[in-house]
Amino acid sequence: DVQLQASGGGLVQAGGSLRLSCAASGFRFDDYAIGWFRQAPGKERERVACISDDGSTYVTDSVKGRFTISSENANNMMYLQMNNLKPEDTAVYYCATDRTYAAYCAVVPVAYKHWGQGTLVTVSS
């Protein structure tokens, strides 16, 4: 079974950094796209960053230059390094994986079949 477990969230002041981790099992990273999504209160879930099955990375414009996605395929781990955090980054962050659109890193959450439980990131001003 595909399983994902996100961790690393917390409370941080604006300008600070956090690193989120996603422990994955039950699939090979080079067969799937894996990504980070976030959902703020009252807002739709949005894709933050993604790694496609060939290792290409995608980062949404609002976090470019601040967030970096990476993976350790041998250990089935994915990370999101978040620097210069802003209050608007406050959200529950989820890791997710998809095989159907693995080459394209789909933007819409509905394309992702498997989800982790989410980890809360709160950025204070």
What digits encode the pLDDT tens for the residues 23-52?
Answer: 999 999 989 999 999 999 999 999 999 999
What digits encode the pLDDT tens for the residues 7-28?
Answer: 999 999 999 999 999 999 999 9
The counts of H helices and E strands in the chain are 0, 11
Question: Residue type for 84, please?
Answer: N
Number of CB atoms found within 10 A of residue 95's CB: 27
Residue 44, H or E segment: none
What pLDDT shows up at residue 30? 86
pLDDT band at 123 (very low <50, low <70, confident <90, very high): very high
Q: How far apart are the first and last CA of the chain?
A: 40
Give the span between the Cα atoms of 67 and 97, in whole angstroms: 19
